[in-house]
Structure formats: structure tokens, C-alpha cells
Amino acid sequence: MIFSVLIPLLLACFIPFISKIKRTIHTGIFVLFIPLVIFIYFVQFIGTDFQPERYTYQWIPSLGINFDFYLDGLSLLFALLISGIGTLVVLYSIYYLDRSERLGHFYVYLLMFMSAMLGVVLSDNVFVLYTFWELTSISSFLLIGYWHFKEKSRYGALKSMMITIFGGLSMFGGFVLLSTITGTTSIRAMIANAGIILDNPYMPLALGFILLGAFTKSAQFPFHIWLPDAMEAPTPVSAYLHSATMVKAGLYLVARFSPVFSGFEWFFIIVSLTGIVTLCWASYMAVHQTDLKAILAFSTISQLGMIMAMLGFGTGAAVFAALFHILNHATFKGSMFMVAGTVDHETGTRDIRKLGGLYTFMPMTATLALFGTFSMAGIPLPFLNGFYSKELFFESTLDLPEGAHAITGFLVEAIPYLAVLGSIFTFVYSLYFLFGTFGGKPQLDQLAKKPHEAPFGMLLSPIILVLGVILIGLFPNAVNGTFIAYAAEAVYGEEVIKDVHFWHGLSPAFQMSLVVVGLGALLVATRTKWNRIYQVIPGKWSINKAYDAIMTKLDAWTKNVTTFYMTGSLRLYMALILSTILIVTAGFMFTTGGLTIDTSNLAPVSGVEITVALVITAAAIGTIFAKRNVAAILIVGVAGYGVALLFVIYRAPDLALTQLVVETVSVALFLLCFYHLPNLKKRTDPLRTKAVNAFVSVGFGALVTLVSISAHSSDWFGTISDYFLETSHSLGGGDNVVNVILVDMRGLDTLFEIAVLGIAVLAIYTLIKLKTDKGEK
């Protein structure tokens, strides 16, 4: 299992070398087989006899952090989407991206993202999941900013990373709380201890943190603003990240942790309300867009909101509908993004105001758009998979759970109406996209180049996705019974509905669909008459403006902070670093009882030791008053050699020899360097500066002294010396315990220490041999 996650990341290392031969063979041809093999691997798990599987690979077992991969119905659904859609996206990119592009960079980023997403959906360890989660943010940042020479691409990439990483850090806080509450890092174990979590007073805080991570990643209102700007990425990136994978990571997170939090009524309130508001607002705003990918971006946000709302409902029917729609959305939305990219590729524009009448020039592309938009609109036709999940969505809104809060009762009454409202605008933007692009009269004078049908290779991927739309529509139970039902069972905890049929009579859900089609058709026909409403709602109000204002203020504040301490003064840097260590460490020691002084087990101090200690102290103080460089260096050397003498007194010859070598090399190096520098001058620092210097030096010295005494006096951990004494002969083959530790048990540390000493010796030798020219300073 771990190979399916890490293979894309490992093979990405070879892409830069493969891309060197892009003049003859497109790099995507080599990359194509990677997601295809992974997809075939996961296909073998599909079947009516599916059983969850768990795989464990040790990483940091002492902290309970291992590569624990758990394949159940939910993770299998997402793994199939990630690898399957990934294969089609790579195939599409072969014809979309020219060989003159930086293909090595593109496919490295893409494979990095693929590994990250597979790691997110397969990880059972929360901290491993978080690691992969942040890797998706980093790799998506690189993909969105792939055309970095465009200002909009850089802006969109930074915006997406800022918002999603903010949510990711919040999610990490929730994971820490859950791990602390349950004493485990396993998601399965957390689900098993859901009762303990629900009874803990920190549960609402953990829920809020995790939902914040999910909402930012899945572009829920008001965090949705990053997704439209991310459309500056190449179309293969949009089709992969923003329709089938990355934006659905938040949905996966909510689905995975819903067994833990679904018993909490506020989970229903927050998730359902956020999802339904996102559905209505994004579908409404999609009709106002003029860029094809912007229309699809807001339509994606609206669909994500619908799925999020169903996950919030928490009923078996709602969970099944949500997971079914995740699959359906990936098929029709992935094809629509590819259609938009094809139109842009063949006409030179995505501005729907300049398009129209393209059905005559691009009939195959228009046919694909027809199936995709009609499925997205939820038009009641038996060969469109979007209608089935849309009708299941309407059914789930009519059977919402009751609750004790008044707001729950309000949502139970209002959500069905809001669902219809959002679906009406979904119908409108779907037909707006279709007829605005392919209907009406051609405007050839507005296009950068004369349109023509795209090559078959570019159409192959959307054709496969549209075939998926049709086949799932004709045979919905072929996918439901084999893996969708198992995914729903993994979320809901019990077996849920498996049979889906087109006709159920004039049910309330079907009547809601008829209302959507009727009112949606009316709004489509009269769109030019009511389009001015956008001047009022939202009017001048914009969440993007709020984001820009916040970022501007944040930039100004951070600039002021940075200007305060980045002055170029080494003294200030050291004062800030040492003061921070002093305050934080001392405060932590005093508040946690770490300060311990035990004099019961001390050896007597001889006069020789006292004399050497006084000499070291005098030498340290003497450096302050030295007026010449050479004198200061020699006095520092006296302190160092005094420490070596203490090691001799304490019968530690190895340490004494090491100290002597290091001190000798250091003194020689300092003498060679400082000999050519001007002599020390009497400092005329103001009293404030002297006070700060005294506080830092005396305080830090006192801190080190207290830490040393406390470390010697405390007995918090068992000593490791007995282990070395017992195993030095059997493991290291020697009776000199110190030598065995240095050479065998800590051999790697010793190797690096020797390397450092070797570098220092070479540096000194170079300085000695260096001969400067007469005019060189």
C-alpha cells in the first residue's frame, strides 16, 4: 500500500532527466503510466465482497507516528478518483501543453500532488495525514503558479496557499486535541472512543479547528475566494485539483470524522448551514461570471457546498447521496473543465462574451459540453448521473434530524427551500455556460484565431468522463453496490441504501426537480432583464476586498516588525536570541517546578578545584577589560585551558584531550583572523545599552547555571549508563565504555564531529598558506 502512495513521489525524481528528451517525446507519455498502474491496483479491490484492509509501516514509533494506511470504502472511492482522474488529466495534458513548456516542473508538481492526496485519504494516523495535507497545499501552490510570469497566477497561488495552510494549521490543533483526549493518533481508535471525545470539554474546540481546515480546503463560504483565482492554473490542473481531488479533501475530512462528531448537534448546525449557504451563494455568483473557468470555479464551489450540507445532515440517505455525488461531480465537472480548456486552446479566449456559435466549428466538444452541463444541472434524464444524486439530495433535505436547539428546527424547515433555490441557479449557470459558448451566432471577429475542432487526443479524456456520466446514469447500481455503498457504510457506520432508480413516481423530490427546471428555464430566458441585480447584491461588497485589505495590513505590520529587529546589528540579534531563551526557559522552569537544587549527593571540593575555577572566572571577566585583540584572545584561551585542566582533575582524559585540541585550534584561528583587524576601542555605550548587556550576560549565565544544577539534581528519567555498561562488550566488543559509545553506539555522531574538525583544520591550514598581494586589504 505504501508503494501506491510514494511511487509518484519517488518517480518524480526522474522526471527532470526524462524531460530532457521532450523535443522528440512528450514527457507526459512517460508519466501517464504512473497513475494508470495505481488505478489498476485499486480497481482490484472493487467488488461485493470488499473488506477493509490495514497496513502499518514504522516511522516514529516512540511518538506513535507511523505510516498506518487504512483502505475502507471511503478511502477506496477517493483513491480511485485520484488515480483515475489523474490518468485522464495526464492524457489530456499531453495534447494541451506544448513541448516548449517547462514540462519537467509541471509533472514533478503533479506527481507530488498525487502522492500527497493518496496519503491524505489512506492515512489512519492523524499526524501523517496532516503531513500529506500540507504537502497538497505546497504542491497545489506550485501548480497554480506554474505560469509564474503571470501576475494573476502568482496572486492566485499565494492566495490559495495562505488560506488553505491557515486552515491546515487549525486542523493540526484539532488533531493535537483529539490525540490528547484519546491518547492515540489512530483515526480508527478515535472513532472507537467517540463517546470519550463527546464528553470532553475541549471537544467543541477540536471540532471547530478541524472544520476550519475542511472548510478552507473545500472552499466553503466565506473561504471560497481562493478557488476562482486558482483558475489561472493550466486547465489540466483545474480539472484535477479543483474538480476531483484537492477541493474534495475537506469533504473527505468531514466524512472521515463524522462518526466522531455526528452525535453533537452543533456538527449538524455548522456543517449543514455552511454547506447550504455555500451552495446558494456560489451558484448565484456563477451566473455573473464571464470567464468560462470562473463559471466552473463557482459551480464547483456550489457543488462542494451541496455535498458538505449532505454530510452535515448525517442521515444514511444523505451520506449515501453525498458520496454518490462526489463520484458524479468528478465525472461531469472534470469533463467540463477539459471542455473549457479545449475552447480556450482552439479559440484563444475564455471570455464568454466573445464566444458563441461554436457548435458549428466544434461539434464534438459541444456534444461533450451538452452531456456535462445537463448532468450538472440535474435535468431529469435517465442517462445523466447528476440527476440521480441531485434527487437523492432533495430527498435527504426532507428527512432531516430533529434537535433540541431552536436553530436546528429553523434549519429543518428552511433547508429544503434553500436547496431548491441553489439548484435553480445551478440550472441557470449550466445552461448559461452551454448556450453562451456553443449557441447563438459566431463572433469570429472577437476571437484570437479561427475556431476548429480539437485533435482527438485532447477530446479522449473528456469523452471517457462523459461516457462515465452516461454509464453511471444507465447503470447506477453497478457502482453503488460495488464501492459507493461501502464508502457510505464507512462514514455512517451502518449499511445504507444500495438501489437507485430513475422513476419513483411523483415524489416530493421529483416535484422539487420539476420546480428547479421550470423556474430555472424562466430565469435563463430572462437573464438579461434581471442581471442588474448583481449591482445590488453583492454590489460593491466583496470578500476578496476584505482579504486584500487584511493581507495589506499584515504585510505592513510584518514589515514594521522585521524592520525593528533586522538592523544589521549582531549585538541586537544576539541580545534578542539570548533574551528570548532566557525568558522562555526560566519562565517554563519556574511555572512547571523544573528548578531543583539537591546538595545531598555532592562530592567535596578541593583547593585545587577552587583555584582553577577562580582562574577561569578571572579570565572570563578579564576579556571585558582587554584593550588589544591578541590579549583578549589569549585570556579567552586561559579560560579554555582551565576547563581542560578541570577535566584532568575529574579523571576524564578523553574530554581533556578533546578540549585541548579544540582550544588550541580556536586560539590559533582567532589569532590569525584578528591580527589584521584594528585594536579594540574603549566603548562609549549609553547606560541603557550597558544595562541590557548586563541583563543578558548575567541572566543567561545564571540560567545556564540553574539548568545545570537542576539537571544534576533531578531524577525524572532513568539513567542510561547501566545500559551502556551492560552492553558495551556484547554489542561493541570493547570494555572501554567511552570508546564503544563514541565509535559504535554513537558512531554516526562521531563521524560528523570528525568531519567538522577536519574542515576546521583545513580552514586553518588554508589561512596559514594564504599569501595576500601587497595592495590587497
pLDDT in tens, 132-188: 999 999 999 999 999 888 899 999 999 999 999 999 999 999 999 999 999 999 999
Average pLDDT over residues 559-571: 86
For residue range 447-470, list pLDDT tens digits in order.
Answer: 888 888 989 999 999 999 999 999
Q: What is the pLDDT of residue 332?
A: 93
User: Who wins on pLDDT, 665 or 343?
Assistant: 343
pLDDT band at 777 (very low <50, low <70, confident <90, very high): very low
User: Which grid cell is 216?
Assistant: 478552507
Longest C-alpha distance within the chain, in Å?
A: 104
Q: Check whether 22 has a pLDDT greater than 60.
A: no
Average pLDDT over residues 646-659: 85
User: Which grid cell is 194?
Assistant: 467517540
The C-alpha torsion from 170 through 172 and 174 to 179, rounded to 10°, is -170
Helix (H) or strand (E) holding 503: none
User: Who wins on pLDDT, 767 or 346?
Assistant: 346
Q: Check whether 776 has a pLDDT greater than 50.
A: no
Q: What is the pLDDT of residue 444?
A: 87
- Residue in the block written with cell 430572462: 526
Average pLDDT over residues 64-80: 91
Q: What is the pLDDT of residue 27?
A: 87
As a whole-number percent, the residues of the chain with pLDDT over 70 amount to: 98
For residue range 722-757, list pLDDT tens digits in order.
Answer: 888 888 888 888 888 888 887 888 888 888 888 988
pLDDT band at 307 (very low <50, low <70, confident <90, very high): very high
User: Who wins on pLDDT, 256 or 659?
Assistant: 256
Average pLDDT over residues 110-125: 94
Contact at 8 Å (CB) between 396 and 317?
yes
As a whole-number percent, the residues of the chain with pLDDT over 90 amount to: 53
Cα 328 to Cα 312: distance, rounded to the nearest angstrom = 19
Looking at this protein, which amino acid is placed at residue 773? Answer: D
Cα 473 to Cα 476: distance, rounded to the nearest angstrom = 6
Q: What is the DSSP letter of 123?
A: B
Contact at 8 Å (CB) between 91 and 36?
no
The helix/strand/coil state of 202 is coil
Average pLDDT over residues 507-519: 93
Helix (H) or strand (E) holding 532: none
Q: Compute CA distances 706 → 233, 539, 578, 711, whole Å.
A: 56, 63, 15, 8
Q: Which ranges constitute the DSSP H helices of 650-686?
A: 653-674
Q: What is the pLDDT of residue 598?
A: 77
Average pLDDT over residues 484-491: 91
- β-pairing, 53-60 with 65-71? antiparallel
Average pLDDT over residues 664-673: 81
Q: Check whether 771 has a pLDDT greater than 70.
A: no
pLDDT band at 775 (very low <50, low <70, confident <90, very high): very low
Q: Check whether 91 has a pLDDT greater than 90.
A: yes
For residue range 249-284, list pLDDT tens digits in order.
Answer: 999 999 999 999 988 999 999 999 999 999 999 999
Q: Check whether 773 has a pLDDT greater than 60.
A: no
Q: Compute CA distances 108 → 16, 114, 661, whole Å.
A: 8, 10, 48
Specify burial of residue 301 (Cβ count, 10 A radius: 0-12, 13-18, 19+): buried
Contact at 8 Å (CB) between 378 and 475?
no
Q: What is the pLDDT of residue 133?
A: 95
Neighbouring-strand partners of residue 125: 186
Computed over every residue of the chain, the mean pLDDT equals: 89
